[in-house]
Amino acid sequence: MSQVVDKMLPEKSPIQRKLNKFKRKPLQFVKDSKAYDNAQKGMDYTWAKFGSFALVLLVSALVVFYYGVMASPRYVSETQFVVKQASSSDVPMLGLAALGSVSPSMRDALILQKYIQSREMAMALDAAVSLKAHYQRNDWDSFSKLANNSSTEQYIEYYQNHIAINHDEMSDVLYVEVQTFDAQYSLTVASTLLQLSEQFINNLGAKMAQEQMAYAQKEVERSYKVLSKNQNTLINFQDKFELYNPEQKSGALANAINGLESQIINQQTELKSLLAFMRNDAPEVVAKKIRVDALKAQLAEETNRLTNHDKQSLNKINVSFNEIKLNTELAMDLYKSSLVSLESVRAEAYKKLKHLLVIEYPALAQEDKYPARLHSIITWFVCLLLMYFIGRLLLSIVKEHKE
């Protein structure tokens, strides 16, 4: 009955029969194919011909296939710059003093080198140009790209492997090489890196200068407040006693007292002369006595103004005035000194400002620089040969010991 049914069904083509066989037993289908037989014969021949050296040839073929076909090209954008202060005073040291010494320019270059390789720069570039997303794109081959689920630490390590920095100790020039999978993008990353480095260097010198300037400015403001307070005290004191300068007033009063004493002496001398030949009640004698008494009364009044137990006496006013005046002069000197210090700090701050002098700006790459295909293939082949011969040598030594 089955034979009758088979005859009634339409006959299948060879292609359909092969497809059905591939669906049912794919592994058996591959083994039964001529391509598999030819490959098996080729491997048998190669193994018979070359022995274990065939593994070296196989791996070398895979390496050639990867670097020749699969490996994604990486483009490089280069830049060179040097860090200099506004007023550099670097003096080369000679002899033993030069051992272990680091100049300010070299120190700044080494600091900038560490910053470019740091986590801060990697994260700043990622925030500015999405560097991590570029390295993770599926357009690049799996061996070259950054894994899609990579952590921040893996990204930083990958970034550091694709940013090359060299420092020339003779000229303190920093050479930076940026690798990405697109020529235009390499130029963008290198330009952004240059801008971030310049900002870092500017902030490095400006921050210290700003702190010093802020302190000096505060000292100026503080000394000015003290000066203003003392000046106001002096003005209020002068207004209260209606005296511009008690010292001058005291001097004038002392001169007046001396003058009155001199006049009294003269008048008393004249009075004694008159009494020598006149009576006491003579008009001229009486007038002279009145003149002497008036001078003595005026002298007592002026002396009382100059010195007495009252707080309003001129000598006490003069002492208080001198104290206030001295404090004002000291405050003025302090204010002048703080102004001089501010100018000095401003000049020193300018000398400490740092600038990034660009020697070579980033340029658009015309050809890919990495991977170095021929160099990598030759290096792999040499390493495989060394591994092969070392393995053969070890096997020979083991066989000799067994025998």
- Sign (positive or negative) of CA dihedral 284, 288, 294, 298: positive
Task: Give residue 315's pLDDT.
Answer: 61
Task: Give residue 269's pLDDT.
Answer: 76
Q: Model pTM greater than 0.85?
A: no
Alpha carbon distance 49, 19 (integer Å): 36
Q: Which residues pair with 83 in a beta bridge?
A: 356
- Sign (positive or negative) of CA dihedral 35, 41, 43, 46: negative
CATH topology of domain 75-90+100-208+353-360: Alpha-Beta Plaits (3.30.70)
Task: Give residue 97's pLDDT.
Answer: 41
Contact 73, 140 (CB under 8 A): no
Task: Give residue 247's pLDDT.
Answer: 61
Alpha carbon distance 192, 169 (integer Å): 25
CATH topology of domain 215-351: Helix Hairpins (1.10.287)
Task: Give residue 1's pLDDT.
Answer: 45
The residue type at 226: V
* DSSP result, 155-186: HHHHHHHTEEEEEETTTTEEEEEEEESSHHHH
Average pLDDT across each block of 10 residues of the chain; the chain has 403 residues. List them in order. 45 59 58 60 53 72 82 91 71 45 75 92 93 90 87 93 90 91 93 92 76 83 86 76 59 64 74 70 72 69 58 63 80 86 77 81 88 84 84 77 64
Task: Give residue 94's pLDDT.
Answer: 45
Task: Give residue 188's pLDDT.
Answer: 94
Contact 73, 368 (CB under 8 A): yes
Task: Give residue 99's pLDDT.
Answer: 46
